[in-house]
Amino acid sequence: MEQLPGYIDPQKPNHVCRLDKALYGLKQAPRAWFQRLSTFLVQQGFKCSQADTSLFIFHRGACLVYLLVYVDDIIVTGNHAPSIQHFIKRLQSEFAIKDLGKLNYFLGLEVSHTTDALFLSQTKYARDILTRAGLLDSKPVATPLGTNDVFTSHGKPFHDPTLYRSFVGALQYLTITRPDLSYAVNQASQFLQSPTEDHFQMVKRIMRYVKGTITYGLRFTTPTVSKLIGYSDADWARCIETRRSTYGYSIFLGGNLVSWSAKKQPTVSRSSCESEYRAMANTAAELIWITHLLKDLNALPNERPTLLCDNLSAIFLSQNPVAHKRAKHNDIDYHFVRELVSSGKLHTKFSFSIAITSDTVTNQTDIY
């Protein structure tokens, strides 16, 4: 170790400072800070959520206060303003913090408040990506991918794989408020190891789509009916190299989109029923996690969650207790979903079509 410049003692040139606190850059720093903060919050009457360890809940009578922490960035909200202000004063007396007031910007997410909604977007972050890629003045396209685009690992290697990974990683963070990018970014993420020129053109098309939809984001309103609904889907054996399926799901709480994903399945499915059923299993797992989170938040809907799928065979498989010979290789997912249905924790229904509507991914100018 070396002494900091300007702090060297001429009488003791080989001495260094003794570490009394965990500093940025040390492996112990995040754990030490979180332990210090969580201990203080528990002393103030908060309880750590079992579903999300970064969430703390204070519940006393009709008063509810939620605290979400990401390292040293903290969001505090609740239904009782005097209790929130009293807690912030206690927090300020314990730590050197700055109260930034009403939430407007958090970890790259922009928050816009209206009379009846909350709008989340990443306009500035998206503009920064386009500027770094030199595509801020590019011509927009209507979709992130072409309808007939099929990508393989064969082709002319891209000259700068690090640049490709950098752009794809930036787009992955953009999907926090842009579910319409999830599938396209998932496709681009499958070629991070050895990208080709075609793959980079795919990334550029995604960015051109972002250029035309730069003000899009998520709009949250107060639900009239608090109900948890999940949609699942899968494209059977679409990958022409591995013949693995890509599944996706979207979960709504009272009409507000709260969770979504698009991923390639780790194994090959031998039928469309199997690929759809695996998608249902992953969606069901996410639904159960959200119910645990809502229970911690004291906001769990009375009705059981509903899972919709557009494959009748998968629906029958989740509801019929009779074992199927063709589904023996799929026992884990089969029993997982069927037990949730039989215990009354999940309701499965058939859906004719599954799509994220334009009401979910909204232009920011539409809400003012």
Instruction: Write down the residue that tokens 């009782």 correspond to.
Output: 80
Distances (CA, A) of 161 to 56, 134, 167, 191, 241: 41, 17, 10, 10, 21
- Between the CA of residue 181 and those of 51, 237, 366, what are the distances in Å? 26, 21, 20
Res 263: pLDDT = 86
Closest CA to 279 of 247, 327, 240, 316: 247
Tokens representing residue 142 in the block: 């209507």
Element (H, E) at 131: helix 123-133
What's CA 53's distance to the chain center, in Å?
15
Bridge-based pairing of strands 306-309 and 347-350 is parallel
Distance CA 45, CA 224 (A): 31
Q: What is the pLDDT of residue 41?
A: 92
DSSP for 187-256? HHHTTSSS-BHHHHHHHHHHHHHHHHTTTEEEEEE--SS--EEEEEEEETT--TTT---EEEEEEEETTE
Give, for 6, the enclosing helix (H) or strand (E): none
- CA pair distance 122, 93, nearest whole angstrom: 33
Superfamily of domain 224-350: Ribonuclease H-like superfamily/Ribonuclease H (3.30.420.10)
Tokens matching residue 280: 């249902």
Residue 330 has a pLDDT of 56
User: What is the spatial distance between Cα 294 and Cα 64, in angstroms, rounded to a whole number?
Assistant: 13
Provide the whole-model pTM: 0.77
Torsions phi, psi of 144, nearest 5? -70, -25
What pLDDT is attached to residue 357?
43
Sheet of 117-121: strand order equals 105-106, 109-113, 117-121, 216-221, 361-363
Question: What's the confidence (pLDDT) of residue 365?
Answer: 40
What would the 3-class secondary structure string for 250-271 be?
EEEECCEEEEEEEEECCCCCCC
Residue by residue, DSSP assigns 49-75 as -SS-TTEEEEEETTEEEEEEEETTEEE
Q: Quote the pLDDT of residue 171.
A: 94
DSSP 322: S
Q: In a structure prediction context, what are the per-residue pLDDT tens digits for the chain, which is 368 residues long?
A: 677 778 888 888 888 877 776 666 777 778 888 888 999 999 999 999 989 889 999 998 889 999 999 888 899 998 888 899 999 999 989 988 888 888 888 888 899 988 888 999 999 999 999 999 999 988 999 999 887 777 787 889 999 999 999 999 999 999 999 999 998 999 899 888 889 999 999 999 999 999 999 999 999 988 777 889 999 988 887 777 778 888 889 999 988 999 998 888 887 887 888 888 888 888 999 999 999 999 988 888 888 899 998 888 888 877 765 555 555 555 556 566 777 777 777 878 777 654 444 444 555 444 33
CA-CA distance, 318 to 339, in Å (whole number)? Answer: 9
The pLDDT value recorded for residue 321 is: 57
Domain boundaries, the chain: 1-101, 121-216, 224-350
Q: Which pLDDT belongs to residue 126?
A: 93
What is the C-alpha separation between 76 and 80, in angstroms, rounded?
A: 11
Q: Distance of CA 135 to CAs 33, 74, 127, 154, 229, Å?
A: 40, 34, 9, 26, 38
Of the candidates 333, 332, 334, 310, which has an alpha carbon nearest to the alpha carbon of residue 322?
334
